[in-house]
Amino acid sequence: MADENLNPVFQIQRIYLKDMSLEQPNSPQILLEQTQPQVDINLALGAEPVADGIYEVTVTATVTTKVKDKTLFLVEAKQAGIFEIRNIPEDQLQPIIGIACPGIVYPYLRAVVSDICTRAGFPPVLLSEVNFQAMYEQQRAAAEAQGSLTNGAGGAAAPH
């Protein structure tokens, strides 16, 4: 019976919109502009333990749309998920939190951003697909490079 408690567990407890903001600081005058706006999209990931074996993973999108140098609209949305993750080896835990969980949360974020843009009176902004595995591997490589720089690697190869 004790073996049952050691089975790996990965379950979605809840997906929810954690934070949302929309700003149109230069409305209504800027709405009369005919110039094609410039759209800038930034994504950020977050993860933190909530309780033993329970993690909150967030994906935040910041969409800044400008006409010339004035902001047309700014949308920031943070979509979150609560996941139960237990009895997973430590080396597999971080990829689950950094790749699988954001991949589950992200489609909800895409829908929210598209919807809020439409409700604000603009064409929907469609967030493109994201390869969270590539993003995770880049962050790990950057962290390892940072670690080797700060761990005194500068004196590792002395000239002969």
Can you give the CATH number for the domain in which 14 is found?
3.10.420.10
Percent of the chain with pLDDT over 70: 89
Residue 75 has pLDDT above 90, yes or no: yes
Q: In the prediction, which pLDDT does 149 show?
A: 62
Whether 63 is in a domain gets the answer yes
Give the mean model confidence (pLDDT) for residues 72-89: 97
Whether 155 is in a domain gets the answer no
Whether 96 is in a domain gets the answer yes
When pLDDT is cut at 50, 70 and 90, the band that residue 150 belongs to is low
Q: In the prediction, which pLDDT does 147 show?
A: 80
Both tokens of 113, joined, read 């951003």
Tally DSSP H helices, then E strands, for the chain. 3, 4
Residue 59 has pLDDT above 70, yes or no: yes
The neighbouring-strand residues paired with 71 are 66
Return the DSSP state at 97.
I
| Digit-coded pLDDT (tens) for 28-40 | 998 888 888 999 9
Whether 109 is in a domain gets the answer yes
- Interatomic CA distance for residues 12 and 15, integer angstroms: 8
Q: What is the mean pLDDT of the chain?
A: 89
Which residues span the domain enclosing 15? 2-144
Residue 2 has pLDDT above 60, yes or no: no
Give the mean model confidence (pLDDT) for residues 38-58: 96
Q: Which of 2-11, 30-39, 76-85 has the highest mean pLDDT?
A: 76-85
Residue 122 has pLDDT above 70, yes or no: yes
Residue 98 has pLDDT above 80, yes or no: yes
When pLDDT is cut at 50, 70 and 90, the band that residue 5 belongs to is confident
Whether 156 is in a domain gets the answer no
Whether 152 is in a domain gets the answer no
Query: At 45, which amino acid appears?
Result: L
- Interatomic CA distance for residues 74 and 40, integer angstroms: 10
Whether 151 is in a domain gets the answer no
Q: Considering its fold, how many domains does the chain have in total?
A: 1
Whether 79 is in a domain gets the answer yes
Predicted TM-score (pTM) of this structure:
0.84
